[in-house]
Amino acid sequence: MQDTKGVDAGLLQSRYRLTKQRAAILRALEDGRHLSAETILERVRAQLPGVSLGTIYRTLDILRSIGLVQIFSHAGAAAKYEAALEKHHHLVCTQCGEVTNVNVSEALTLSQTIAHEHGFDDVDCALVVTGRCARCADVPATASG
């Protein structure tokens, strides 16, 4: 869940106002889930029926630029947005598409070691682990053919 004082401070520091659209998008992301712009639009329209998808995208871009929203995209799937959290990585279910946040403190150290061996500096990393989630692993895969 997003800290309201942090949101206000982030917007104030960036000279952006907390408009009703920005507030509605941040509320839509409060549950910590990874949401598509279309899902955010559905949630926001419950409060602001006249809002357009274009407004959602423009507002998400502003919120990303000031560090209040993050974007996650993997393997050509539609981008998903989440409230900006501490640095984390992702588990992605290859069957249902569920995205789960995970903390892996060793990932950056390993990435830095590999990068430095190849002459890179100023290193960051984003670890994405794919597989089947516990829920999908219990469901037999459907046979195709």
How many beta carbons lie within 10 A of that of residue 41, not counting itself?
20
Closest CA to 41 of 21, 68, 13: 21
CATH match of 86-145 with 3.30.1490.190:
yes
**Residue with the two structure tokens 């502003």:** 62
| Tokens representing residue 91 in the block | 């588990």
What the block records as the tokens of 103 is 């903390």
Confidence of residue 13 (pLDDT cuts 50, 70, 90): low
Helix 20-28 to helix 53-65 angle (10° resolution) is: 80
Cα separation, 70 vs 74, whole angstroms: 13
- Beta-carbon count within 10 A of 16 CB: 16
Listed by start position, the domains of the chain span: 1-85, 86-145
Say yes or no to pLDDT of 47 above 90. yes
Global pTM value: 0.70
Tell me the per-residue pLDDT of 73-128, one tens digit each, with 9 for 90 and over: 887 778 899 987 777 888 999 999 888 888 888 888 888 899 999 999 888 888 88
| pLDDT level of residue 2 (50, 70, 90 thresholds) | very low
Q: Which of 60, 102, 84, 81 is nearest to 3 (CA)?
A: 84
- Partners of 133 in the beta sheet? none
What sign for the dihedral angle of Cα 46, 23, 58, 61?
negative
Residue 36: pLDDT band (50, 70, 90) is very high
Asked if pLDDT for residue 72 goes beyond 90, the answer is no
Please say if the pLDDT value at position 144 is more than 50.
no
Distance CA 34, CA 1 (A): 13
**pLDDT for the residue 12:** 55
Backbone torsion region of residue 25, taken as left when φ is above 0, otherwise alpha when ψ lies between -120 and 50, otherwise beta:
alpha
Topology (CATH level 3) of domain 1-85: Arc Repressor Mutant, subunit A (1.10.10)
